[in-house]
Amino acid sequence: MRDAHNGAMARHPGGGFNPPEPTRKGGPDYGRLVAAVRTLQDHVRSVDAPDGVITRAADLIDGVNTLLAPYAADEWASPSGRRTDLPNRGNLLTVPLTTSRAGDRITGTARFARYHLGRNGAAHGGTLGLLFDSLLGQTAAILTGSPYQRTAFLHIDYRAIVPIGKDLQVDAGVDEIDGRKVFVSGRLCDGDTVLTEAHALFVRLKPGQP
Ligand SMILES: CCCCC/C=C\C/C=C\C/C=C\C/C=C\CCCC(=O)SCCNC(=O)CCNC(=O)[C@H](O)C(C)(C)COP(=O)(O)OP(=O)(O)OC[C@H]1O[C@@H](n2cnc3c(N)ncnc32)[C@H](O)[C@@H]1OP(=O)(O)O
């Protein structure tokens, strides 16, 4: 594994945080595959079925895992996160997020799924960190035109519970740039209600930094 990492670094001398190289690998059904796995995750969180149904589902999923296992590839070869034609660049990890640049701001829509449920209808707090790392990372990269940055800190203020299964609004911008340091902040809203606020420091990487 270490060799694979070193090999990837050799092929990416600018560091490990190069912007994704777009690809069409995976073909016309890659987006459907990612969407189907998201739906599967929702079902696994919500299912209340007879044991036999669970056994059959586990068998079917084991079959899919057996089908895919021989094709496991490193992060540079896999299309995950590189399918720029697909929502969230075909990255299963992210909280579904659609953004665009509006002048000196990044705005858009986020939607938490049943998979992201914490308790009592509220999204799990950790999934807010996942959302804001993506949102504020994009904000820092796009608004400064410099993708080689890593999160140094991410501070989250949970103002109100975040509902799952509802389109919510995001808005973010750059507050300050100080040398290699890019300070950004953003918020998640449900109409006029601010649900979550966050601010973060992204540090521009030096050549060769992972
Ligand atoms: C045309 C344009 C293109 C547009 C791009 C288009 C598309 C973009 C595509 C992709 C990108 C999009 C989205 C990105 C999405 C998500 C982003 C996710 C990012 C991550 O999820 S990434 C994983 C989590 N992240 C880590 O895994 C970091 C681990 N960590 C380290 O790698 C180091 O720690 C590092 C590199 C952060 C710094 O290390 P270092 O050695 O380079 O620098 P150093 O320590 O000297 O800090 C320099 C100055 O920052 C200050 N500073 C540092 N840390 C601080 C802290 N915590 N609090 C307050 N100040 C801090 C120092 O005090 C000093 O300040 P000063 O210079 O004033 O003294």
Report whether 38 contacts 31 (CB < 8 A): no
| Nearest alpha-carbon partner for 78 in 37, 25, 38 | 25
For the entire predicted model, the pTM comes to 0.93
**Ligand 1 in contact with 210 (CB < 6 A)?**
no
Q: Is the distance from the beta carbon of residue 150 to the nearest atom of ligand 1 less than 6 Å?
A: yes
- Ligand 1 pocket, residue 188 CB under 6 Å: no
Which residues, including other chains, have CB under 8 Å from residue 193's CB and lie 6 or more apart?
A: 160
> φ and ψ at 21, to 5 degrees?
-85, 115
- Cβ–Cβ under 8 Å, residues 78 and 90: no
Summarize the confidence of residues 139-167 as an average pLDDT. 96
By C-alpha distance, which of 130, 128, 150 is closest to 140?
150
Tokens read off for 20: 């994704």
Are 187 and 170 spatial neighbours (Cβ–Cβ below 8 Å)? yes
> Would you call 55 helix, strand, or coil by DSSP?
helix
Is the beta carbon of 101 within 6 A of some atom in ligand 1?
no
**For residue 113, what are its two tokens?**
């799924």
Give the model confidence (pLDDT) of 129-146 as tens digits. Answer: 999 999 999 999 999 998
> Which atom, in ligand 1's list, is nearest to the CA of 206?
42
Q: Is the CB of 151 under 6 A from ligand 1?
A: yes
- Name the residue with the closest Cα to ligand 1, atom 17: 137
Q: Which helix (H) or strand (E) covers residue 129, if one does?
A: helix 125-144
Q: Determine the distance separating the centroid of ligand 1 and the alpha carbon of 79, expressed in angstroms.
A: 25
Determine the distance separating the centroid of ligand 1 and the alpha carbon of 175, expressed in angstroms.
15
Using CA positions, which residue lies closest to atom 9 of ligand 1? 19
For the chain, give the mean pLDDT: 93
pLDDT confidence of 3, banded at 50, 70, 90? Answer: very low
Q: Is the ipTM of this complex over 0.90?
A: yes
End-to-end CA distance of the chain: 16
- Cβ of residue 203 lying under 6 Å from some atom of ligand 1: yes
Q: Quick check: 13 pLDDT over 60?
A: no
- How many residues would you count in the chain? 210
Interior angle at CA 71, CA 88 and CA 22, nearest 5: 35
110 Cβ closer than 6 Å to some ligand 1 atom: no
Measure 150 CA to ligand 1 centroid, in angstroms.
3
Q: Report the distance separating Cα 83 and Cα 34, nearest Å.
A: 11
Q: Please determine, for residue 11, whether its predicted confidence score (pLDDT) is greater than 70.
A: no
Q: Decide: 209 and 15 in contact? Cβ < 8 Å.
A: yes
